[in-house]
Amino acid sequence: MRRESTSSAQTEQIGAELAAGLEPGDVVLISGDLGAGKTTLVRGACRALGVQGPVTSPTFAIGNRYHGERGLIGHLDLYRLGSLGDEDPDLLTDYIGEDLITFVEWPDLAEPELESLGRIVRRVRLEHAGDDRRIVEIG
């Protein structure tokens, strides 16, 4: 599916629509350039899943966990990591599992590990399309 967004609100709405079909244990991989709207998309999904508090980029913390109406939600941002081999082997386990719905920004370096920890159900790519426009591809 390919969608165009012209605002943060539209990107959040696309995230909300994405969240409608997710269940605990599902993992969504989200890629795109800096500032493309990855965290905005996750924020919309988290709102649809019942998260009330702030949903922020976990770039420096690596991961955030939120409480939603259907349980826990993991949100990872792997941008700062050079390799998972240099990290604690349990780094991802607090954020991915059968009891969490998980969103992973910048997933490329960890895709094999992510596949072993959860069900990758969607791959999302956001691209700048000029001005405030974004192209969101969901596969």
Q: β-strands 2-5, 134-138: how paired?
A: antiparallel
How would CATH label the architecture of 2-138? 3-Layer(aba) Sandwich (3.40)
**Mean pLDDT (the chain, rounded):** 90
Does the pLDDT at position 92 exceed 90? no
Residues recorded for the chain: 139
Provide mean pLDDT across the span 68-82. Answer: 87
Rounded Cα distance, 107 and 132, in Å: 24
Domain ranges of the chain: 2-138
Looking at residue 32, its pLDDT comes to: 95
Tell me the pTM: 0.91
What is the predicted pLDDT for the residue at 87?
A: 64
Name every residue whose Cβ is closer than 8 Å to that of residue 83 and which is 6 or more positions away in sequence.
109
**Using CA of residue 43, residue 47, residue 51, residue 54, what is the dihedral sign?**
positive
Residue 58: predicted pLDDT: 84
Give residue 88's pLDDT: 62
